[in-house]
A = this chain, B = another copy of it.
Amino acid sequence: MTIVETPKTAAVDMRTMAKNAREAAARLAVLRPAAKNAALVAMADAFLAHRARIKAENEKDLAAGREKGLSAAMLDRLTLNDKRIDAMAAGLREVALLDDPVGEIYEMKTRPNGLRIGRMRMPFGVIGIIYESRPNVTADAGALCVKSGNAVILRGGSEAIHSNRILATIMDDAGAAAGLPANCIQLVPTTDRAAVQDMLRLNGLIDLIIPRGGKSLIEMVMENSTIPVIKHYDGNCHVYVDATADLDMAASIVLNSKAQRTGVCNAAESLLVHEAVAAEFLPRIGTDLTAANVEIRGDEKVRKYIPAAKPATEDDHRAEFLDLIISAAVVPSLDAAVDWINEYGSHHTEAIVTRDHDSAMKFTTAVDSACVHINASTRFSDGGEYGMGCEIGISTDKLHARGPMGLKELTTYKFIVFGEGQIRV
């Protein structure tokens, strides 16, 4: 295994990478599940066998990061130590154990003329993933794409370039040695932005682009891609406490949604309280949130009951804080809560706490978000928690996949028609 040191300015031939991926995809699409699973296990073994090499490459990223003055938190996210390498390997083994989605035949029915018509689940072909996250995304995304029969072109963030390159190289080499076609997993070897621009215009060679990252990355991809895109955008998740809510339950769910973990897209960022319970609920949740070090930014009515709260701006109500901060407002009705969420929210995950059946069903139907939770924390919005076994991310789009995306969401389908010589009259 040789890692060629490619300077930042090197022109990468994205078209050749995509063509190679396309060839790999055609062969990968018809592989049996056992062959793909064996390759995933071989990749896990290779991570452990090449620990030292992974840590050495990772150290180059850490050194560059320290030089650039990255924060301690960011350096920690970037670090690949033994524990994290073990976790990546374990992750690959878990993906190998999941059901294979490819080839599933469903909705089969027989037509009056005897034709048997159904759908068969198929890989997309080639998926491009553009991300800014931790290097473990390289391992996760690569494994999920291979398992779902797709070749993948990965484009990670510049901070993790050395780590990402060694991980992708180990996976592709180990996979090929175990019988996968070469180039199932390729990483764009430079941090040159022009390579991304090239990649986004290879429709016909790349079937799907999944961007995961900040606003400017997503917007750049949307502006420039001629390939279909599934976005993984921000989560301004709401908890709405209805007039009939069990207030103990409401307090528990608000606190868990906001503070159980803050730097994640399914953490609550906004609290809405029905005016009928504002006087009773707001003082106690104010105390609970303050005790958990959460800063509250409220409208006038909120501040009446929580005097320590800061005034909320319009921007606060729209914000994804990813921090110990929550915006809050009082609403006059469930309808007003729904309108507020559809206007200020990011269509990710919203929770209602209520004892009223009509409120629960109306909220479920009318809120235009990927995930709607009734009497449950927003923090459950996750592929693993939803029982999907894994997750490539959480789509904030509506086309194809919405909410947590698992293996099934990395596939398309074809119609299959079995006849005995039927012609159309």
Mark out the residues of chain A between 372 and 425 whose CB falls within 8 Å of any chain B CB in the assembled complex: 372-377, 379-381, 385-387, 397-400, 402-404, 412-424
A260 at the interface (CB under 8 A from B): yes
Contact partners of A30 in chain B: CB under 8 A: 365-366
CB of A159 within 8 A of chain B?
Answer: no
- With beta carbons under 8 angstroms apart, the residue of B226, B379, B421 that contacts A222 is B226
Q: Please classify the interface of chain A as helix (H, G, I), strand (E, B), loop, or mixed, using the class held by over half of its residues.
A: mixed
Contacts of A381 in B (CB 8 A): 415, 417
Known: A260-B423, A373-B419, A374-B417. A398 touches B253 (CB 8 A): no
| Number of this chain's copies in the complex | 2
Does A130 count as interface, using CB distance less than 8 angstroms? no
| A223 contacts B by Cβ under 8 Å | yes
> Shortest CB–CB separation between residue A417 and chain B, in angstroms?
4
Chain B contacts for A419, CB-based, 8 A: 373-376, 380
Chain B CB within 8 A of A135 CB: no
Min C-beta distance of A280 to chain B, whole Å = 18
- Assess whether B373 is in contact with A246, with CB atoms less than 8 Å apart: no
Query: Across the interface, which residues of B come within 8 angstroms of A222, CB to CB?
Result: 203, 226
The answer to whether A246 touches B372 (Cβ under 8 A) is no
A98 at the interface (CB under 8 A from B): no
Among B226, B376, B412, B415, the residue within 8 A (CB) of A115 is B376
Q: A142 at interface (Cβ–Cβ under 8 A)?
A: no
Determine if A91 is an interface residue (Cβ-Cβ < 8 Å): no
Contact-residue size bin, chain A (C-beta under 8 Å from the other chain): 35 or more
Q: Which of A71-79, A117-125, A293-301, A314-322 is near enough to bind chain B? A: A117-125
Measured CB to CB, the closest approach of chain B to A291, in angstroms, equals 16
Tell me which residues from 166 to 207 in chain A have a Cβ below 8 Å from any Cβ of chain B.
203, 207
Q: How far is the CA of A399 from the CA of B223 in the complex (A)?
A: 19
Verify B109–A377 contact, CB threshold 8 A.
no
Nearest B residue to A223, CB-CB = B226
Are B252 and A417 neighbours in the complex by a CB distance under 8 Å? Answer: no
Residues of B contacting A244 with CB < 8 Å? none
Q: Once the chains bind, are B422 and A370 in contact (CB under 8 Å)?
A: no
Interface string of A74-115 (1 = CB under 8 A from B): 000000000000000000000000000001000001010001
The residues of B that contact A359 with a CB separation of less than 8 Å are none
Inter-chain contacts of A380 with B (CB < 8 A): 115, 417, 419, 422, 424
Q: Say how far A313's CB is from chain B's closest CB, in angstroms.
A: 21
Q: Are the CB atoms of A400 and B400 closer together than 8 Å?
A: yes
Nearest-Cβ distance from residue A84 to partner chain B, whole angstroms? 22
A229 at the binding interface (Cβ < 8 Å): yes
Given A374-B418, A379-B424, A415-B381, decide whether A29 and B115 contact each other with a Cβ distance below 8 A. Answer: no
Among B364, B385, B414, contact of A120 (Cβ-Cβ < 8 Å): B364
Q: How far is the CB of A234 from chain B (nearest CB, A)?
A: 14
Q: Which residues of B contact A226 (CB under 8 A)?
A: 222-223
- Please indicate the chain B residues that have their CB under 8 angstroms from the CB of A256 in the complex: 423-424
Inside 8 A of A249's CB, which chain B residues have their CB?
421
Q: A222-B226, A414-B403, A415-B372 are contacts. A423–B387 as well, Cβ < 8 Å?
A: no
21 residue pairs A–B, Cβ–Cβ below 8 Å: A26-B342, A29-B368, A30-B365, A30-B366, A111-B385, A124-B398, A207-B398, A228-B228, A252-B421, A253-B423, A255-B423, A368-B414, A373-B419, A374-B419, A377-B423, A377-B424, A379-B423, A386-B417, A402-B415, A403-B414, A403-B415
Closest 5 CB pairs of A and B: A376-B419, A256-B423, A379-B424, A400-B400, A398-B412
